[in-house]
Amino acid sequence: MNSTIFVLGPAGSGKSTFTGSFVEWMQSNNYNAIAVNLDPGTEFLPYEPDVDVRDYVVLQDIMQDYSLGPNGAQILAADLIANQIDDIKKEIDEYDTDYVIVDTPGQLELFAFRTSSEFIMDQISDRKGFIAFLMDPMVAISPSGYVSLLTLSASVFFRFYTPFINIINKIDLLNDSDLLKLKSWSYDAGVLYEDLRNEKPNMNNVYLTEILKSLQEIGTSSTPIFCSSKELKGLEYIYSAIQMVYSGGEDLEKR
């Protein structure tokens, strides 16, 4: 049985680039991996998908056929994909591969919070999926932005209740001091609390401090892994984290 990694994250966080780069990195390290595109609306992909949902459902056709806007069409598209999931799964299973990397649609909330998406993910992964949640460093670089992203990732985790890692992508865009700052927040919550308090002393940060405390108590504010999909840096740490889960560190069966 293969390991299925779903790449999720806010629009533009780098899901498609990461998918292509991670498959490239895996293949150049002699691991078997294929790329699956689950975004029916994408017009350009920075990689060649081995299995492409657009062979089954195309967003632009749905918009035309049902007179829908892009968001309504994404919702209907997920239902139509769910209807054809057996064929998509069969196509994936035709590949004798160890890893399936799945690129997901840009509109995170339309994908992550719909029942049909949960069904699609369960079917593709035989209920043993893994989520790689991507964060954009330009959002994460402020204390409030960082905690907001942790909150968003936690809400995705609560939705799917599947093993997951947080990834801060595009680190090639950060200067050394910003990268160091982000790393210090992820390794030492005390620094993050302090910077959050000092960012703008207003009620918003009081709320975020309370949210951060809750996330830490629940244990969902896991230390992110840093990478650059563009420069293929840090991908070995992501592979190790996934490997640890799949090799028995955690029970992958959904609870």
Ligand X SMILES: Nc1nc2c(ncn2[C@@H]2O[C@H](COP(=O)(O)OP(=O)(O)OP(=O)(O)O)[C@@H](O)[C@H]2O)c(=O)[nH]1
Site residues for ligand X per CB under 6 A: 9, 11-17, 39, 106, 169-170, 172-173, 228-230
Residue 166 or residue 169: which is nearer to ligand X going by CB?
169
Contacts of the segment 68-76: beta carbons below 8 A, 24+ positions apart: 70/41, 70/107, 71/107, 71/110, 73/41, 74/40, 74/41, 74/105, 74/107, 74/110, 74/111, 75/110, 75/114
CA–CA separation, 241 and 142 (whole Å): 26
At its nearest, how many Å lie between ligand X and the CB of residue 78?
Answer: 15
Looking at the Cβ atoms of 12 and 249, the one nearer to ligand X is 12
CB within 8 Å of 232: residues ≥ 6 apart = 21, 24, 25
Q: Is 219 left (phi over 0), alpha (psi -120 to 50) or beta?
A: left
Q: What is the Rg, in whole angstroms, of the alpha carbon atoms belonging to the chain?
A: 18
| Residue 14 site contact among ligand X, Mg ion, none (CB < 5 to 8 Å, cut-off depends on kind) | ligand X
Nearer to ligand X, 140 or 212 (CB): 140
Structure tokens at 225: 């892994």
Partner touching 116 among ligand X, Mg ion, none, CB below 5 to 8 Å by kind: none
User: Of the candidates 17, 26, 66, 63, which has an alpha carbon nearest to the alpha carbon of residue 44?
Assistant: 17
The footprint of Mg ion (CB under 5 A) covers 15-16
170 binds, among ligand X, Mg ion, none (CB under 5 to 8 A by kind): ligand X
Work out what residue 172 binds among ligand X, Mg ion, none; the CB cut-off runs from 5 to 8 Å by kind.
ligand X
Q: Which is nearer to Mg ion, 16 or 144 (CB)?
A: 16
Residue 89's binding partner among Mg ion, ligand X, none (Cβ under 5 to 8 angstroms by kind) is none
> Smallest distance, Å, CB 67 to ligand X?
23
Looking at the Cβ atoms of 104 and 116, the one nearer to ligand X is 104
